[in-house]
Amino acid sequence: MEAAYRLETTWNPEGGPNGRFTFSLFNLSDEALTGFKLVYTSLTRVIDPKACENAVFLRRNANFHEFAPPAGLSIEPGASWIFTVSGLHRPAKHCTDGAKSAYVTLADGKHVAIAVSDLLLEGRVSEPPPVLLPEGRLELPFALQPWPAEIDVIPGDGFPVVLYPAEGSSKDELTTVSTALALFRRLFESGHAPFNLSVSPQGRPVRFAHDPSVAKEGYKLTFSTQEVTLAYSDAAGRQYGLTSLAQLLHGARSEPNRFRFPASGTITDKPRYVWRGCHLDVSRQFYPVADLKRLIDILAWLKLNIFHWHLTDDEAWRLEIKAYPTLTTTGVLRGPDEPLLPQLGNGAEPVGGFYSQDDVRDIVAHAAALSVEIVPEIDIPGHNSATLIALPDLTDGQEAPDSYHSVQGYPNNALNPAVPLTYEFLEKVFDEMVELFPSEYIHIGGDEVANGSWLASPLAKKLMEQEGISGTFALQSYFLKRIKDMLTARGRKLAGWNEVAHGGGIASKDSLLMAWENPQVGIDLAKQGYEVVMTPGQAYYLDMVQAEAFQEPGASWAGTVPPAHTYGYEAEGDFPEELKDKMKGVQACIWSEHFLSRGYFNRLVFPRLPAIAEAAWTPKAKKDWHRFSAIVPLSPKL
């Protein structure tokens, strides 16, 4: 059913310190609309409640906004109510900076959906969308992505119908081929199978050769018209060799005028970095298990080996913890009448979603079979609005409400290092996590604790006195050292965001930090002895807009990130030679604030995710943007 109301929003750079929104609420129902309140969610927040005209600001929580019309207003069928809001915390820059969702609350308390439109720039014409991906150019006709370290092959005239394990292959080898085939079938449902297990006279055998001299995760393919040999030293390398064969055959079959299958020669391949990651924020938006499995399939196809699963944030705690069931009831459900209010595209209907421990086991096993390790993240101590709403005993009851705000606008959202229950809670959470996740690292977040956090908490003040420390970040460091001890006691290493180093940080041994704020931060962390993964927002945050144009969707606080920039960025660039061994690799980050649908997800994540995969794998001297552009249209999407 079509919505009975529609909200349209325009933004004008004039009219306030950060411009002005004009909202038009159309009544498309058959009855006059009176005595109601309007709610919308928008990342462009209102900070001056008085700076609006023809409406009354009622309340805001992060990006949830509630307004009332002027007293007595009635919107007749077919008419609209127009009001303006100019007390904004920043200017709007893109079409996704307006209302992401809206609803009305009627006099009887009922909530009714409102359709919303993307933000329009007032009084300007839209520029045509830019071309972000050139047609590309191939020097060698092979559909490999990421491009291999060494390739010295002659293209064949035709290609084998299918590849099959040579006679005498072990059960283990047959199983690997079956896994590679299943991956291909999931990614390209209607594509012709590259492998089968039966000896096929019109196909070509693949002979496996275990060879300890092949690099870790590497492989060597030797082609002839009689057979292909695949040499490897570990399971990941064997899988990647098969993936390359599947890519070669898929390319040759799908676009025979551009891509071919090798008739002779060798491909000798290995990754540039050991950490080739992709992060996904499942808190802001929930992704069903099937979507996660498909994303993991895509990572495997691109030879990425880490899935960093950002399971908790202010907006929801998505991981079932048996000791604390309210985390995934109260802590996930966002709705007009729930403790967690609608945010980021939520409307009149409550929305939830979480991963049961059975779901987690299923996803971890799915990933492991594809040589993808899952690094789970519980983001602490900041970004915990949902946790604190689900478990109010974790707060210091004497702390003044609204005593500090996160950069996303959440009040008092950090776990309190001076509340003893905080540690009991986290011990139990980690106990359950280590049973679920076999990963070397547990990621504990550590990002964006607001300066000023806990300073109005009497318990925190007392603890700081006792410890002889002062200030938010000294207290954060005290807290994170205790967290590090908890992980060490469970045999796990600590991963975190770059702010873990603030206020004195933690022991650098077995601590890996992700440099997201900017590239220089990564070098500074390496100097302090931390291992580093480079995830700078300016190149690797896939929620960033890809062009300047107003109608480009996405965030822009880290700048504009065209695919060519993501591809060309050299994370290792300014690392001094003596610190390069601290730089373990690179990672894409998929923050979900703007990903209200698969359409937005695919538009922003591709082709930048494959671009990062190539940056993670392919030696610098072999990177080639035009070759990448020619091949990437073959990449699967979500």
Three-state DSSP at 298 gives helix
Residues from 224 through 283 that contact ligand ACM (CB under 6 A) = none
Least Å distance between CB 88 and ligand ACM?
A: 22
List the interface residues with ligand ACM, window 514-543 (CB under 6 A). 516
CB of 248: closest distance to ligand ACM in angstroms? 37
Closest CB to ligand ACM among 297 and 448?
Answer: 448
DSSP 8-state assignment for residue 449: P
Print the binding letters for residues 500-519 with ligand ACM: x by CB under 6 A, - otherwise.
Answer: ----------------x---
When asked if residue 447 is in the footprint of ligand ACM (CB under 6 A), the reply is: yes
Q: Which of 154, 150, 174 minimizes the C-alpha distance to 164? A: 174
Tell me the number of residues near ligand ACM by CB under 6 A. Answer: 4
- Residue 58 vs 557, nearer CB to ligand ACM: 557
- Closer of 262 and 537 to ligand ACM (Cβ): 537
Q: How far is the CB of 281 from ligand ACM (least distance, A)?
A: 9
| Beta carbons of 164 and 278 less than 8 angstroms apart | no
Minimum Å gap between C-beta 405 and ligand ACM is 15
> Closest-CB residue for ligand ACM?
447
Concatenate the DSSP letters of all residues of 491-552 into one string. T-EEEEEGGGGGGG----TTEEEEE-S-HHHHHHHHHTT-EEEE--HHHHBTTB-SSSSTTS
Longest dimension (CA), the chain: 84
Give the nearer residue to ligand ACM in terms of CB position, either 205 or 496: 496
Sign, Cα dihedral of 298, 304, 307, 310: negative
Q: Which of 23, 64, 286, 497 binds ligand ACM (CB under 6 A)?
A: 497
Question: Closest Cα partner for 534 from 518, 517, 514?
Answer: 514
Minimum CB separation of residue 494 from ligand ACM in Å reads 15
Peptide bond into 146 cis (omega under 30): yes
Helix (H, G, I), strand (E, B) or coil at 155: strand
Q: How far is the CB of 562 from ligand ACM (least distance, A)?
A: 20
Which residue, 9 or 498, has its beta carbon nearer to ligand ACM?
Answer: 498
- Indicate the residue among 98 and 382 with the shorter CB distance to ligand ACM: 382
The residue length of the chain stands at: 638
Question: Least distance from C-beta 586 to ligand ACM, angstroms?
Answer: 15
Distance of CA 197 to the CA centre of its chain: 36
Contact 360, 301 (CB under 8 A): no
d(CA 308, CA 295): 12
What angle in degrees, to the nearest 10, is found between the helix axes of 357-368 and 420-436? 50
Q: Coil, strand or helix: which one is 307?
A: strand
Q: Which of 320, 448, 531, 593 binds ligand ACM (CB under 6 A)?
A: 448
Q: Is 315 an interacting residue with respect to ligand ACM (CB under 6 A)? A: no
Instruction: Kindly list the distances between the CA atom of residue 5 and the CA atoms of 8, 25, 77, in Å, as whole numbers in the listed order.
Output: 10, 7, 10
CB nearer to ligand ACM: give 219 or 410. Answer: 410
CB closer to ligand ACM, 51 vs 571: 571
Binding site for ligand ACM (CB under 6 A): 447-448, 497, 516
